[in-house]
Structure formats: structure tokens, C-alpha cells
Structure 1
Amino acid sequence: MFQQYNRLPVATSRSPEDEPFSPPARDYALPEAEPFQSHDDLSAGASRPRFMGAALGNDPSRHSFTSHTSEPATMVEDYDHVPNKETSFYALNNYQDDPQDSDYNASQRTFGTKASPTVRGTPYLEGKRSTYASPRSRSKRKAIIIGGLAALVAVIVAVIIAVYFAVVKPHSSNDSDSASGATKGGSNSSGSASSPSPTGGAAQNLAVTGGDGSTVTMEDGTTFIYRNPFGGTWYYDPKDPFNNAAQAQSWTPALNQTFNYGVDQIRGVNLGGWLVTEPFIVPALYEKYVNTSTPAVDEWTLSQAMANDTASGGLQQLEDHYKTFVTEQDFAEIAGAGLNWVRIPLPYWAIEVREGEPFLPQVSWQYFLKAIQWARKYGIRINLDFHALPGSQNGWNHSGRLGSVNVLNGPMGIANAQRSLDYIRIIAEFISQPEYKDVVAMFGVTNEPQGNMVGQEALASYYLQAYNNVRGASGTGIGNGPFISFHDGFIGLAGWAGFFPGSDRTSLDIHPYICFDGQSSAPYSSLLTVPCSTWASNQNNSMSAFGLSTAGEFSNAINDCGLWVNGVNLGARYDGTYSGGGTWPFVGECAPWTDWPSWNQSMKADIQQFSLASMDALQNWFFWTWKIGNSSVTGKVESPAWSYQLGLQQGWMPTDPRQAAGICDPTAVFTPPLQSWQTGGAGAGQIPASFSSSFSWPPATISNAGAATLLPTYTQTGTVPTLAAPTLSASVSVNVGDGWNNASDTASMFVPVATCSYLNPWCGEVPPPSPLCSAPAKRADQLAAPTITATP
């Protein structure tokens, strides 16, 4: 049973800026810092729960998991036992985004190749207002009309003023920001949107910017009404497509302004299940193929099933999903919800696939380009999360293939890491270009690697090489490429204190969940202090001991109820149906936790208070996830605690996330700013040689494989694929970039040695081939059924 807690008072309607912070100290341990529990009790083929780390309950540790798989360029054919084959006119009227703040005025390409290329929020708002005053000056345009009626004069003047402020002034203001052949402005605004309506023909003289209540015209000519009560403004001019003048909210710096990390608060949401599918997020995709001889349990098996289903469109069904699951209106709604960042999972097959890998290649990248355009239009920054690596970094379904861990683990651990580092370099070269760097402002280089399995030394070595690849593409210092985000590998924030000293703009990422392992029937009302007591002090400490520390994922779930939350057809611990291993006694029926249409206002208020406490404790965060798709069987969302959008629609998510400020008071809080080098200032990028030499690449040994020198590796002789830029209208002549920011980076791609034998990249912990290099390389046609690798 969970410990019983006194319920926090439900937040009042006061502005979070009304009272200063005076928080006390916390000394509770972060679950993620707890030891990682073994899973050798899982049955063969069982999907691990998606998430890891300790949970509440009598057991201080908790499991988590979910997985992926794919094949190499060449493999030894006799390894039959290897796993699975298969934009503001508000100032005119002294608009205030906070009605209780009397002092604040809101006015304020196709794929090519490259071969040898020649806070915490409210406590700091006063400081931020002075730093981020609106750059737009407000002037009145007078028109003198001789003759005519007075009424006609008034009408003409009104029209002139409206056109000036809606089109002419924003455009001219943003023109001043152009540089290096590409304008750098931003559209930082958004809002809830009404259903789109057709324009009825070719649009002429369309507005290029607007705020709350304005009409937005999308690429296909349909329109919707932009809803943003927070002073946000959108901006998009087809003739100036890289303008960064938009602003998500009045308190968030526009994309053409500096985001002050450690002072400006990251309030974000994930776009999970979009470009990397996940069964519990998009169940309808999987339900179609779940009752087959080889059920779809991950994107690998889903892709195979779709490819065989030519009558339904084959693998192209995935593009239909990309087109519809997340659209421009979602970005507008996200900004209108008071959110200023999105974290977007991206798989390696957005770049390429190799022999035997069934994924739809490169197409998801085209939709990530759309995400950049939409984020730019509404002033939202992107955290690109490299979510699925070749061979799988964690063996869970959201890595692409359910099965074994093959990055930094097992005989293909080095080769798969080499390939992954190349993909990190390719992505970094693209997003570091002037046209994209202000939108894609953070890069999570690897999602949820199993640090306790591969070892922190090996993981740190890999991370340092990833850091070098990103900074090699972007350079160091403010404005040069993205912030780099390292997942803690479930080792815990405290375990990374002091790592990467002098590194330029690096951050730690944790994924705190309390819904796995120990289960309890305790209601939300008894768990409202859990986020504050469990997470807050660790976040504060890490902001000082390491630097920027964010929660890349968290949710409102307090148990594991929900369709396929643990994996396809694995059941739930809560109701005793979990078949992934272990003994789980019946706690209660899951129906009350998933039947959201029956939730009363009291329960919704408790969930909202829980989410606010989580936001305040975590300080800089990304909720998992923006939306959960409907089940094709029941026609509704079956995992409601995980959907931010549904929570907004139904009333259990806060319409203004700033209400979170002070929920965890009194408690000790991080005092900004971050150290200068942590944000790209003096000393940034000067990592001591002694540290670098201690974590040189590659590591000396690989877990479950032995000495790195005895393992298969790739060679740098391949042609580097370059990520494509967006295709613009033929009438627009602007620089879209060539996909490669640093022309002096001419290193080739890691590819198999022609005369070497390799295991399948997804082989698991099997003996390496001997000898490593022989006559022509051979390949296995089949892979055995996937098994779950027990965690150390």
C-alpha cells in the first residue's frame, strides 16, 4: 500500500505571480536513483513495461520496460538461436495575460548523399520582463482624408490600422532579423483551434500573423480560429518561411530571442506515438494486426504486417498515420494550452535502413520537417529525441523492436553504437544549420539506454563521443546548435553530479513515473504530495551539481491500468492479469481508472492537483504524452491518464500550467542562474583533458560481450546520407540549407567491412563470430522469436 498523505489544498484562481517563493528543503530520494531491479522473472516474448525506475510501495525499486529489433548488413548464417527476425496586437488595448497582475502589460530537399563533403517560472518573471521586453514598438498611423463623411473617415482609418498591425508592421519588424541568407524570426504562439473550414478557393492577401481569435490558413487552404489567451502570436509568411517572430505566450521568449535556460521555464509535452509508434498510444494501428499468427507488438512486427497487407495500402499505411495523428492544429493547441516546448521522438529509420530492417525509411523525416514548420509558426521550441537506435538501446517496444539490448551490450554492442553515433552526427549537422537551430533547440541523443546494464563508464564514454559529434557539427557557445540532453540511464540524477565538467550546454533527463511495480487502490487525493516529496529536491540539487535537469517524460498515471500500457496483451499488475513475469495479486478492477467519461468533478480536481504538483516539483518538464489515440474496438481513449489533450478537453489538466508555481511550497528551490559554462557562456566547451581521457571512446569492454577489441566493429568508409531540407514553393527563393552545417566535417560513415562476418544487429547476448573476418560475409535469413533480456 502507498503511504497515506495529507491532501494539498486545491489551487485557487490566484495568479502564480501573486506570492513569492519561500520553499523549504526536501530530503526525499528520487525513485530513479534507486537500484534497478532484475527482470529475470519475465516470460519469453513478454514486453517489458515502457518505463523504468523505482516506484512507491513497500519495494523501494520498480521495474519498467517495452522494446524493438532489426537486422544487419551481414550475419553469420548459423546463428539460428538469435532473437526475433522479424506570432501581438494586444498592446493596443493594454491587454493583460494575467487578469490579477495589474502591473504587467503583455504588449510587449529529397534525401541526398554526402561523400567527402568540401524555473521555474513565476519567481523569476519580474527579471524576465526586463530581459525580454517586447521588441516591437507601437505607433499610430494617421490618415488624413479630405472630404467625405466623418463615418467614412473612421472606417478607412480603422482598416488602415488593422492592416498595419496585422501584416505590414510584423513583417517589416522581422525583416530586420534576417541574416546569412535566411531570416531568423519566430512565431511563438498558439492556441486551441476550432474545426478547420475550407477557404473555397485560392486565398489572396492572407494575414501572416495574428493572436487570439485570428484566422489561421493552413497549407491546404483550410482555416481555423486561433485560440491563445496568453498573449501568444503566430507568424507565417510563405515568402519568408524561416522567419522566427512568433511567440507561444507573452512570458516565453520568441524564437528570435534567447531562451534563458534555468530562468525561463520549460513547460513541454511529448508527441509520442507519432513518428515512433507505440501500441498503447496508437492502439488502432496495432489492433488490426494483433490477432494474427505473428501479432504486431512493436513497429518492427507492425511494419512486417503492414507490408504484407497490400490490400490496405501496405507499409504506406504508416504515412497515413503520420498525416493524421499530429497536425498543425495540434501545435496551435499546444501553445494555446500555455506550453512552450514539444519533445518529438524520432527513429533511426528516418535517416536510412539497412538490409533486412522492415521499417518505412525516410518518410518520418518529411513529417519532422513539417513539425519544424509548425513549431516555427506558433513559436514552440523542439527537443528532438533520438528514440529508436539500431539494435535497440533498451529492448523495449518503443525502441522499434521488442527483444534484446544491442547498443553497448552484447557482441554487436560496439558496431550498433558506432552506427548510432553516425546518426547523431547526421541529425546534429542538419539541426545546427542557421535555418533550423532556433527551432530545434535541444537534442536528446539517446532515449532510455539501460545504464545499469551497460555500465555508467561505457555509457559516459558513448555520451562524450555523442557530445563531440554534436559540437563538431555546431560549434560551441550560445546560438551554436542545440542544448544536448543526456538521459540518466536510470542511474539517477545524483549519479551524474560532476560529469562532463566544462561541457557546452548539456542537460540531464529523467523519466519519473510512479505507476509501475507496487500497486495501490489509494485515490489521487491521498497521493497529492508524492511528486513534491519524491522529486523536487533531487531536481534542485542536480540543477546545481550538474546543470539543467529536466523531466523528459512523466504522466498522471498512478497505476498501470490502461490498454497495453505494459505491452500488447500483457495485462496489468493492478488487476492481477500481468503476464510479463512475477506474481501480482489482484488490487482492484482497472475500469474505474480508465472509464474517464464517468469521472466526477472531485476526481478530476484531484488529478489536476496531482499534475500541478508534478509540474512544480520537476520545474522543467515534458508531459508524456500530448494525445492517446482511440481504440478501434471501443472507439475511445483507453489510457486517459497519459493524454494531456484529453485532460484539457475533459477538465483534469490545468488550462494554465503556471498555476503549478508554489504547489510544493515550502521547499528549497534552485536559485538561478545556472553556471555560465552550463549555458554556453565563458568556459563552455572546455572539458578537462583528464576527464576526456577517462571516458575515451570506445570503452575497453562491452557488457555481456567482453573486450571491445575482440568484437565486430564497422569501418569509416561509407557514404554519409544527408537529411533532406523541406521543399518550398517554386516562387520562393530562399536558402533552405544543404543538410550539413560544418563543411569541414568530411568523415565517412561507419559501415560493415566487406570481408567480415557479422551477427544480426539485433542478435542479443550470443557468442561473437569466430573468426571475425573471413571470406565473403554471410547473412542469416531468419531470426529467432524475441526474448526479454533480464536486467542486471
Structure 2
Amino acid sequence: MAPREGTRPSKRHRESAANKHHKKRKSSSRPRPKSASEGDSSRSSHGLSADALAELNRHNDRQSTNARPRGSIPRPKPEGKSKPRKEERKSKRPPRDDYDDRLQDDEYRDKEWRRQRKKKQRIVSGAILEEGRSRHLRGGAGSYDSLEREKDEAYAWPPPAKNKRKRIWIYSGIGLVVVILIIVVAVVVSKKNSGDSKSSSSSSTSSSSSGGIGSIDPNSIPAGTPSYLDPFQWADTTDFNCTYTNQTVGDLPLMGLFSAWDDSAAANPNVPALNQDWGSYASRPARGVNIGGWLSLEPFITPSLFAYDLSAGIIDEYTLCAHLNASCASTLEHHYATFVTEQTFADIADAGLDHVRIPFSYWAVQTYPGDPYLFRTSWRYLLRGIEWARKHGLRVNLDLHALPGSQNGWNHSGRQGPINWLNGTDGDLNAQRSLDVHDRLSKFFAQDRYRNVISHYGLANEPRMTFLSASAVTAWTQQAYKLVRSNGVSDAIVVFGDGFMGLGNWQGKLQGLSGLALDVHQYVIFNTNQIVFNHTTKIKYACDGWTQQTEQSMDTATGFGPTLVAEWSQADTDCATHLTNVGWGNRWTGTYSTGNASTDILTPRCPTTDGRCECGDANADASKWSASYKQFLLMFAEAQMVSFEKGWGWFYWVWDTENAPQWSYKKGLAAGVLPAKAYEKSFDCTGDIPSFSDLPEYY
């Protein structure tokens, strides 16, 4: 039974309280600082005598007077006369409100004190405080000062062991989370650096490939910088390094290129990665496609750029830029930035192709007096296109499609009309200019970064040797070959055009030049006597005639030797808008008017050679083609693939067009008239070929 409040407890009660308090202390995880008397281990652990308790209180009073723990609450001084012991204890304890005001002096202690009070935690200071939990100290001989001193010690810094351990656990947890985050970031950075370090033959590992202009300071671009070096004047900055540099290689700018590259990708599981040897093209032929109409305009590929009245005379890139004048730059760069994207290269690889041929024009390198062409803008897009090809494991055939003076007089050479390359008044000048262009190009592409990705280096697309001196073209080709090799392009196959003079006529010419290959373009629709073949005959011709020609050309006893077909198509008509030049009509319907009676074809050359020859079905959307026509297109394409793989491979003309679905590899895939994977063919020139006898059944 506890003593009544206001009476002094008996010895029995005092000893019972002390014993009870001792047990409580023994179970507590937080030790109480001991007084001098408690520190004597000879004393009984069962309780304290009344004399010992009185001595402890006197000791506490002296300690409070002489020293007060840092941050503790001062001992309140009693006012007025002395009172009896019971009343004196009450007066020494400040009123509740005054006490709370004192705690406001230390916000942290106040918060902790209130928390402790809410939890009804007992503050231990000897047996007399066992029941002192509320506003009154119930029983015992303790003093207010000793209570406050222990509270001060409880809230002083550093905190007691229990709270300290709690904080240690909290801080340790936070530290662990931080360490984990650091490790994760380090792993990500390590993987990125590891990927960069895989860059084949790359001694440069700086620069991110993220591109963009957001972090570039406009003031970092020197005043007067030409547009091709100023990213703030570019129509598109995606995947371009926009950090300004005027550094050049071969007098050609590096602006836009990142310093690191990675040649570890493979186009598909059937071919080696870029940083692995391809092997012999005779045993592993190239399967590629042209990205035509992009950096060298061709009216039938992008007729929207040539949608002018015929009277305006806009028939090629020369006349287009002359007409557009100042707006030529924005018009063409918009085309460069949108007609071909990275997705183009991803789709090419997904189609099972392993090479891309990229036609470009000499004005990517240099322009000359009187040229209206857009200078150098296409150069930057060519370099980005090569990087996208690299990313998707595609090897690149560089094709200089237009040379100074025009090497063939066709619109895709830049200027339709006279051939002034190796011909005419400026023939020799343009021959030298062309060598100068190759001098700069070959120095640039001799860099290590291109050693694995540039597989073919083209000298001149379709030199029209039926109008040019064959010996002059051969001599120029040999001179250009030696220049390119001496400048360091040592691994790429150097490609020269057959010039349309017959494959057999190349036997014995340009021999002894290592890594030189003959480039042949095979079409039936530009030949007046072949376009008239019906579909069955066209397939047989592809299987037999072109196989025979390829094998003849590959044999140095009957032809040049290494031969590849860098252009071909499954198109069986020349109906596509502007295909035969702007406004010239076509052979299929007998409307081919060149302005020269000796080359005009004014009678229909479709298989029936009559009024049933029309272009509506041929130019229709692929979704409207009949099952019979689709069967023909697929067999015709696969027959050519089989034949051209007898040589060093093939490059389909062309990947995509605005319309002209017969010419678009991309549209052909969607229509199911090309194999889903270029290396998987359902027809290999063996077995029966269906008979296509009636023209109406073709479509």
C-alpha cells in the first residue's frame, strides 16, 4: 500500500520503494549516472537507509549550487519565509506555467520533454522519485533540483546511449542509400565508358553522342562563321555534335562529328560485324540498297520538288536552285533532314540488307564559278548518314554521283544537257576538278574511323562512254584510283562504272590494280528492245541472260574480273513520273519525246505494243496490284538477286520514293513483292515460271 500524500513514509515504505526502484534500474537499457555513494560497490543492492537518502539529497544540493550541466534549467530560488518541509518542497517546484516558459529557452529540450511527458516516461533519480510522475512528487526525500538535473542530463548533447544508437541506425540507413546510389551511377557510367572503349580503332573516347544544340553557347560561334559550321543555322541538329570547330581533314570540315565511334554492330546474324573481316565478296556477296534522291536529287524520286509548269524549265538540281535562288538552301536542307532519317537505316538492316550505297554530288565538297548548287550542306548529312549506317551494322558504298561538268548529261548528274566532263572546252578542267574532289574526299575517308564502315569507294557514277572517249575515261580512272590509294584509302573496294559500252569490252583493261571492281547497272526498261518482254520472258532473262553476263564479266578471260551490280530494279515499266527526264513521256506508252528524232520512241513498247499500253495500273498504289502482278514482281526481283550474287553482289535502286511504288524497296516490302529478308528467297531460278500471256492479267 502506498503512503498517503502529505505524510512522511515509514521506513518500511521507504525501503520498499528503494527496492522497487532498484529492480527498475536493473531492467533499464539506459544507465543512470551514479552518485558518489552509489558508486560504492560495498553497499547493499536491496535499498538505501534513510540516512543515506538524506546524504544523497544534500550532495545533490551542493552539486546544483557549484555546477550546472550545460543547457540545464537554473534552480529556482525560494521566495519569502521558510515553510515547513512539506510546503517547502512544493514551493521549490515552480508553477506549471512558469516551468513551461523556462523550457522555451531551449526548443529542442522542450520538444523532447513534452514527448517524454506524453509517454509517461519516468525520470529516475533515486528511490524517492519512483512515484513522481505528474505535477507533484509523490513520496520520498528527493528534491526538485535533482529531478531537473537528470532531465538536463537526458537532453544534453551528446544524447544518451539509447537515442544515440537510434540516430546511428538512421544515419547509417541514409548513408547506405547514398552508397547504393553512388554504386548504381558508377555502374552506368562504367558501362557507357566500356561501350565507348569498344570503338574499333578509335583512339578518341571523348564526346557524347547525344547531339543537340541545347548546351551550346551562341557566343562560342565566331562572327562571320559560314552556315555549314554554325549549328544555329542548321535545319536539324539531331545526332550532330554542335560544339564549334573549324578543324578539317583533307580540307573538309569535321564539324558535326563526334570523336568516338563503335564498329561492333552487325547488320544481321548472317554477316560479320563491322570490326570483323567481311571476307571475299565472291563467296559472300553484298546485298544492299541505294539511298537515291537524297543528297543528289532525282526528279522521279521526289517529284514534289519539281512540281512546276513545264514552261519554267525546272528539270534538274541546277535549274531548281537557280530558280529558288536564296531559298534553295532552306528547301534542300529541309529535304535532307526529312527524306532520310535514322529509321531509314534501321529499316534497311531489318530487311536483311547489309550494305547501303549513298549517292552524293561534288558540291558537297566544292562549287565553282557559275554553280547555283547549295555548297557543302549535304556534306554534313552524308557524314551523319554514315554514322547511322555504322550504328546499324551497315557497310557503305560511297558513290560520287555528280562530277564537275556532268559525266553523262542526265538530270541525276546535277545538270541535264551537254557532257562537259572530259569533253568540250572545259573537259580537261573538269577532269582535274574531279581529281581535286577525290583528293580531298580520299584524305578525309582515309581516317581510321571509316576503315571498317566504308566498304566501297566510287569514282564516277555512270560515265557515258558512248559519248566520251573510252581511252580518256580509262586513263582518268587509273589516275583517280592511284590518287585514292596513295591518300590512304587502302581497304575499301574502288569502284568504276562500266560506261554502257558492253561488259566484254572491259576484258584486259585496268588490270593489276588491287581491289578495283567494275560497277554494272542492269535494267530492262531503258532498253527499247527489252522493255517489250512479257513478264515470263523478263524473269527468264534475269535468270539466264544476267547470270551469263555476270559470270562472263567475273572471268578475266572474258571480262574485267570483279563485278558488282550497283543499280537494278524490279520495275517493269518506265511509267514513273519524270523517270525519263521531266516532260519526256515514256517508252511504255510510246510518248518518249527527247527532242531528237533519232532517240524518240513514239509507238507503245509494252508487251502488246498497242493501245492497251497504259500507265495507270503501273503507277497505282501497291494495294491495288493484283495477286498475279505481285507474283511476277517477287519472282522478277528474286531472279535478279540470284543472278547478281554470282558476282560481288548487288544494290537495289532505290530504297524509297514519294510515289513510284515499283521502284521503292520499302514499298515493295510492305506489298510483299520483295523477300522479307534479302537473304531468304522463295525463287532461285529453278522450277517452272508461270505464264503471263495477257496484259490485262498483269495487273
Q: What are the residue-to-residue correspondences of 1:69-108 with 2, within 5 Å?
A: none
Q: What are the residue-to-residue correspondences of 1:170-189 with 2, within 5 Å?
A: 172=194, 175=197, 178-179=200-201, 181-182=203-204
CA offsets per residue over residues 292-330 of structure 1, 9 Å max, x none? 6432100000111221xx6xx443210000000111000
| AA aligned opposite 1:541 | Q
| AA aligned opposite 1:257 | Q
| AA aligned opposite 2:624 | S
TM superposition shift of 1:345 = 0.8
Alpha-carbon distance in structure 2 between the residues aligned to 1:264 and 1:538: 19
Aligned to 1:320: 334
Alpha-carbon distance in structure 2 between the residues aligned to 1:242 and 1:277: 29
1:599 aligns with 2:625: yes
1:624 aligns with 2:653: yes
Alpha-carbon distance in structure 1 between the residues aligned to 2:391 and 2:363: 27
One of 504, 518, 522 as aligned partner of 2:514: 504
Alpha-carbon distance in structure 2 between the residues aligned to 1:183 and 1:500: 41
One of 253, 266, 280 as aligned partner of 2:286: 266
Q: What are the residue-to-residue correspondences of 1:661-740 with 2, within 5 Å?
A: 663-665=684-686
User: Cα 1:649–1:219, aligned 2, differ >3 Å: closer, same or farther?
Assistant: farther
Aligned to 1:407: 421
User: Cα 1:272–1:518, aligned 2, differ >3 Å: closer, same or farther?
Assistant: same
3-state DSSP class of the match of 1:449?
A: coil
Aligned residues of 2:199 and 2:260 also touching (Cα < 8 A): no
3-state DSSP class of the match of 2:640?
A: helix
1:300 aligns with 2:310: no
Alpha-carbon distance in structure 1 between the residues aligned to 2:507 and 2:631: 37
User: Cα 1:170–1:647, aligned 2, differ >3 Å: closer, same or farther?
Assistant: farther
CA offsets per residue over residues 482-521 of structure 1, 9 Å max, x none? 2100111112222222323221211110001001223766
1:494 aligns with 2:494: no
Aligned to 2:614: 589
Aligned to 2:243: none
User: Cα 1:445–1:175, aligned 2, differ >3 Å: closer, same or farther?
Assistant: same
TM superposition shift of 1:379 = 0.7
1:558 aligns with 2:559: no
Aligned to 1:372: 386
Alpha-carbon distance in structure 1 between the residues aligned to 2:270 and 2:639: 21
CA offsets per residue over residues 543-567 of structure 1, 9 Å max, x none? 2323321111001122211111111
3-state DSSP class of the match of 1:267?
A: strand
3-state DSSP class of the match of 1:435?
A: helix
Aligned residues of 1:281 and 1:628 also touching (Cα < 8 A): yes
Aligned residues of 2:593 and 2:602 also touching (Cα < 8 A): no
Normalised by the size of structure 2, how large is the TM-score?
0.59
Aligned to 2:359: 345
Alpha-carbon distance in structure 1 between the residues aligned to 2:313 and 2:576: 19
Alpha-carbon distance in structure 1 between the residues aligned to 2:654 and 2:398: 15
3-state DSSP class of the match of 1:467?
A: helix
Of structures 1 and 2, the larger Rg is shown by: 2
User: Cα 1:658–1:176, aligned 2, differ >3 Å: closer, same or farther?
Assistant: closer
Alpha-carbon distance in structure 2 between the residues aligned to 1:450 and 1:390: 14
Aligned residues of 2:438 and 2:480 also touching (Cα < 8 A): yes
5+ residue gaps, structure 1: 1-161, 188-200, 203-217, 222-237, 630-636, 667-792
User: Cα 1:166–1:661, aligned 2, differ >3 Å: closer, same or farther?
Assistant: farther
CA offsets per residue over residues 235-290 of structure 1, 9 Å max, x none? xxx98731111111011111111111222220000011000001000000111xx2
Aligned residues of 2:398 and 2:457 also touching (Cα < 8 A): yes
Alpha-carbon distance in structure 1 between the residues aligned to 2:570 and 2:192: 39
| AA aligned opposite 2:321 | S
Alpha-carbon distance in structure 1 between the residues aligned to 2:271 and 2:530: 38
TM superposition shift of 1:169 = 7.2
Alpha-carbon distance in structure 1 between the residues aligned to 2:671 and 2:193: 38
User: Cα 1:384–1:661, aligned 2, differ >3 Å: closer, same or farther?
Assistant: farther
TM superposition shift of 1:171 = 6.7
TM superposition shift of 1:336 = 0.2
Alpha-carbon distance in structure 1 between the residues aligned to 2:276 and 2:503: 30
3-state DSSP class of the match of 2:312?
A: coil
| AA aligned opposite 1:175 | S
| AA aligned opposite 1:297 | I
Aligned residues of 1:613 and 1:660 also touching (Cα < 8 A): no
CA offsets per residue over residues 174-232 of structure 1, 9 Å max, x none? 73565462479xx9xxxxxxxxxxxxx99xxxxxxxxxxxxxxx9859xxxxxxxxxxx
One of 246, 264, 269 as aligned partner of 1:250: 269
Q: 489-498 vs 644-653, which deviates more?
A: 489-498
TM superposition shift of 1:664 = 3.0
3-state DSSP class of the match of 1:484?
A: strand
| AA aligned opposite 2:324 | M
TM superposition shift of 1:355 = 1.3
TM superposition shift of 1:523 = 4.9
Aligned to 2:297: 277
Aligned residues of 1:492 and 1:510 also touching (Cα < 8 A): no
Q: 642-651 vs 175-184, which deviates more?
A: 175-184
Aligned residues of 2:524 and 2:530 also touching (Cα < 8 A): no
One of 387, 395, 418 as aligned partner of 1:381: 395
Aligned to 1:196: none
TM superposition shift of 1:386 = 0.7
Aligned residues of 1:506 and 1:547 also touching (Cα < 8 A): no
Alpha-carbon distance in structure 2 between the residues aligned to 1:551 and 1:567: 23
Alpha-carbon distance in structure 2 between the residues aligned to 1:424 and 1:163: 46
Q: What are the residue-to-residue correspondences of 1:730-769 with 2, within 5 Å?
A: none
Q: What are the residue-to-residue correspondences of 1:390-539 with 2, within 5 Å?
A: 390-474=404-488, 480-516=490-526, 517-518=528-529, 523-539=534-550
User: Cα 1:520–1:481, aligned 2, differ >3 Å: closer, same or farther?
Assistant: closer
3-state DSSP class of the match of 1:659?
A: coil
Alpha-carbon distance in structure 1 between the residues aligned to 2:575 and 2:393: 35
CA offsets per residue over residues 357-403 of structure 1, 9 Å max, x none? 10000000010011011011101111111111111101111110011
Aligned residues of 1:616 and 1:661 also touching (Cα < 8 A): no
Aligned residues of 1:279 and 1:286 also touching (Cα < 8 A): yes
User: Cα 1:573–1:459, aligned 2, differ >3 Å: closer, same or farther?
Assistant: same
Aligned residues of 2:591 and 2:601 also touching (Cα < 8 A): no
User: Cα 1:303–1:562, aligned 2, differ >3 Å: closer, same or farther?
Assistant: same
Aligned residues of 2:298 and 2:412 also touching (Cα < 8 A): yes
Aligned to 1:50: none
3-state DSSP class of the match of 1:300?
A: helix
TM superposition shift of 1:601 = 2.4
Alpha-carbon distance in structure 1 between the residues aligned to 2:670 and 2:428: 46
CA offsets per residue over residues 602-628 of structure 1, 9 Å max, x none? 321220111000111011000000011
Q: What are the residue-to-residue correspondences of 1:55-134 with 2, within 5 Å?
A: none
| AA aligned opposite 1:424 | H
Aligned residues of 1:391 and 1:405 also touching (Cα < 8 A): yes
| AA aligned opposite 2:314 | A
Normalised by the size of structure 1, how large is the TM-score?
0.53
3-state DSSP class of the match of 1:511?
A: strand
3-state DSSP class of the match of 2:542?
A: helix
TM superposition shift of 1:578 = 1.7
| AA aligned opposite 1:623 | Y
1:645 aligns with 2:671: no
3-state DSSP class of the match of 2:568?
A: coil
CA offsets per residue over residues 619-646 of structure 1, 9 Å max, x none? 10000000111xxxxxxx1x22111011
3-state DSSP class of the match of 2:359?
A: strand
Q: 170-179 vs 263-272, which deviates more?
A: 170-179
